[in-house]
Every structure is written in structure tokens, then in C-alpha cells.
Amino acid sequence: MKRYWLILILTIILIVYLAAGAFSECWLGIVTHHKIGEDFLIYYQAYTKARSGDNPYLPYHIGRSYVYHPFGLTFVSLFSWHSNISLAILSWALISVGAWLLSIFVVLRVAKKHFAPITVFHNEGFTTRFIVLMFLGFAPFWETIHIGQINTFVALFIYLALYFYQGERPLLSGVFLALAISLKTSPVVLVLCFLVQFRFRVVLSTLISLTALSIIPAIQFSPQILGNFLAILPKLGAEIHPTMYNQSILSACFRVFAHLGKGEIGNVLTIRHKIAFLVVLFGILLKGAFMPKHSTLTNTWLFTTILVITVFFSPLVWYHHSVLLLLPLTLLLLRQSKISFAVGMGLISLIQIDRSFEYITKNAAMPVLLAHSILLGIVIAIFLQSRWNVITNKTKQARSLAWLLHSPDSRRKTVE
């Protein structure tokens, strides 16, 4: 009976969850009048500029101009070779949906290596179907499809890099990580995850692949395009862009100070934001450098923690960036703990209702920032706990072995 009541409650939650996702789509298309494929149109226009020999990064304006690695334009050209923009937008959207479905599959495969997908449902098939349905109705995913963002491809390449890394295929892992970096610069931080674990084959594969992915657009368009990209790269981490749609902690803090009449504090906030990012990142990397290299669970949480840190501390965090957090949210749902499952559902729901909150308050996108903050604290705590458990278990095993080797009775019984 408890199980049936649980399923009934979760069904109601799921209905409300999907309704919030539907409202998010209405907010995007009807309330704020965002056109279908408008971000893809930015990529397409940059591609046509590069093809004609112009600088695709000008005029520079966050949210309205192309700011990714030049290979992203080569990637866009795969959908635009026929010069039919409507067909390009449609094919981009359809393949983006396929990339998201494959991302869910890959993440579930990674998660199942560590946790049996039973959770509170006591049924593997039901649990898997529930998680798939949750993420198919995930509002940031639908925003990604609506505006033609690139993040479903980035998420897929990031998680394929982890998947092949765990499968002891470092060359493929490096190739997919390089693809993720070439479509969005921030995943470059994940290279440090492999570096501190002395996975030099993954790092080398990433660097070689990234070099190759840089040569391709230089040949396709012009070598000058690489210089154009490097010219705007420093600007990406130096701007605050304080709008309610930028859900970063930096933007939120600046808007609070500006409201209090202290808008001149912007430069100080930017510096402190970078320092906080470096302190947290290198603290985790330092812990990761001394953890047992054979523990795939600890390696997964290290990778996950760095990914969450990268998203949280980005100076630009749009709503659709939450699709990059598919892995940590799935791991919370599958940790075989009712508390962990409830927290995971709560965080997903917070992200899901963000557009409803914005529609009511019209001044701040706080649910996403709150969800990301809680998620960051949780994954850091779990990583440190998992690392401690591995070290503790290894110490216990060493002590047991030492006791066995030094106990005459144990040696005699073992021989017998």
C-alpha cells in the first residue's frame, strides 16, 4: 500500500512538473516572444560571415553574437550546406533531441555502474522510465530546442568523454572532450580532472584532437578566424552582464549591490568571483590528486563536481545551461537513498519552476541559482565522503591483511 501511495504522489508531482515545463515553453514563445531557432540563427549568420571572409565575432555583444570556438561554425555548416535556413533549423532541432536522448542513455549507463537503479520504487524498469520521462519534460531542454542552442551536443560529448574514460578508452575520451570544448569553451576545465589523476593519454588525446579541430576551420574559412576567436576570448570572463536572465552568482550579487546604490563595485566582484572559483576548483583538484586512482566511483564524483563548479561559477549562466547538469541530478536520484532521491527531485523541480517564478516576480531568476548552489554543496560533500570511504576501506583492508600476516593462529588456519 505504501508503494501505491508513493506512486500516486509521484504521479501528481510529475503532472505538476510537466505543467510547469509547458508554462516555461509558453513563457518563452508567447510572453517573451523568443522565435524558434533564434540562437541557431546567430550561429548561421556567423557561419555565412566566416564563409564570405568577414569576422564572425563582430559586432561583439553577449547574447547576440557568436562567441564559441571556430570549429562550432564548421559544425553548423553540417546543417547549413544547402543554404535553406528553415531546413537547417529543423534538422538542428531534431538531431538535438536525438543528442539529448543519447545523453540520458549514456548518463544512465554511467550511473548504473555505481548504483542499482532501484531507489524508492523497488523496480529497475519503473525507475529508469521515470527518470527518462523527467528529463524529457525538463524545461531547460525544451528551451534549448526552442531557441536552437548548442548545449545538448555539448552535454552529449562531455558525458561520452566520461563514459569512454571509464571504459578504459582514453583516446576516444579525449576526442569527445575536445569536441565539447570546441562547441563551448568552459568544458576545458574538465581537462584538469584527468590531469590530476595522471590520465595523460586522455589529456594528450584532447590536445591533439583540439589542434585538429582548430585546423579544420582554419582551412575551411581562413587562418585569421583563430586570431579573431582569441581576440574575444578574454572578454568572456571579464563581463558581468547583469540581467535577470543571467542566473550566475556574479550577476545576482552585482544586481543586489546595484540596487543598494553600489554599482561601482563591479570590478571588485569580478575579481572576487574569479578567486572564489579558483579556490574551490583547486581545492577539489588537490583532493582528487591524492585519491585512489582505481576507484571509478570517486573518479565519477570528481568529474561531476568539477562539472558543477564550472557551470556554477560561469559568469554567464542561462536557463538552458542546466542541461549540462544531467549527470549530477541523475546520480542523486539513483543513490539508493530516500533523502538523496527527495533532494534530487527538489532540485529538478526548483529548476523547472524558474520561469513561473520569473513571470510572477519579474525581477530575479532565483530558483535556478538556489538549485545550483545547493547542488554544488551536495556534490562537493558527496565527493569528499566517497573519497574518505575509499581511503577508509583501503586502510581497513590493509590492517586486516597485516593482522593476518602477523597472527600465527590466523596463518595456521589459513594454511589448513
pTM here?
0.88
Q: Delimit the domains of the chain by residue range.
A: 2-415
On the CB side of 134, CA atoms within 13 Å amount to 26
Tell which residue, 291, 287, 323, 286, has the closest CA to residue 307.
323
Average pLDDT over residues 37-65: 90
- Rounded to the nearest integer, the mean pLDDT of the chain is 85
DSSP state of 65: S
How confident is residue 161, by pLDDT bands cut at 50, 70 and 90? very high
**Separation of first and last alpha carbons in the chain:** 52
Q: Which residue did the predictor score with more confidence, 374 or 259?
A: 374
Dihedral angle sign, alpha carbons of residues 347, 351, 356, 358: positive
Q: Residue 232's CB: how many other CB atoms inside 10 A?
A: 15
pLDDT greater than 70 at residue 300? yes
The three grid cell numbers given for residue 217, joined into one nine-digit string: 576551420
> How far apart (Å, rounded) are the C-alpha atoms in residues 255 and 262?
9
Rounded to an integer, what is the distance from CA 24 to the centroid of its chain? 20
Taking only the tens place, the pLDDT of each residue in 120-137 is 566 677 778 888 999 999
Average pLDDT over residues 35-64: 90
Taking only the tens place, the pLDDT of each residue in 359-387 is 887 666 688 999 999 999 999 999 888 75
DSSP state of 320: G
pLDDT greater than 90 at residue 357? no
Share of the chain above pLDDT 70, in %: 88
Residues 56, 170 contacting (CB under 8 angstroms): no
